[in-house]
Amino acid sequence: MKLLRTLVLASLALLVAACSSTPVAPPAPKGPDLTGNWVISVTSQMGVQDSELVLQQTGKQLGGTITGQAGSAPITGTVEANAVAFSFTINAQGMELKIDQIGALQPDGTIAGKAVFGTFGEGTFVARKK
């Protein structure tokens, strides 16, 4: 009888412990990784211009280079969920011009959005991973 009572109490203790344990949360979903080589097509008043874009992503931070007709420039930016923003500065006919790219990662894997050319207007861009 003592053995049966001990087994019942042990089973009950295990059941209570199992029911009161803290559930393990699933891992947080990982955001997009934009690291790699891209071709970015910018459409502006001057037409369409393609450039090479090399991105390195560390967490939410973006770095890398963009290379086009105006030469190469370092870029800095951020990724927040599907929102992507980066900027760089080029020398445009002896004047430093900051260009901001503000967009979002699309379901097809491209990044699309708006390009802001300082005070000289806006355009659009689409970047495709190579």
HSE (side-chain half, CA atoms, 13 Å) at 11: 6
Q: Pick the closest to residue 75 from 46, 59, 57, 55 (CA basis).
A: 55
C-beta separation of 61 from 74 below 8 A = no
Residue 116: partners with Cβ closer than 8 Å, 6 or more residues away: 99, 100, 101, 102, 122
pTM above 0.85, yes or no: no
C-beta separation of 81 from 94 below 8 A = no
- What the chain holds in terms of domains, given with CATH numbers, is 36-129 (2.40.128.120)
User: Quick one: tokens of 44?
Assistant: 């502006």
Tens-digit pLDDT profile for residues 56-66: 999 999 999 99
Tens-digit pLDDT profile for residues 12-31: 555 555 555 556 666 655 67
pLDDT lower than 70: segments of the chain: 1-30
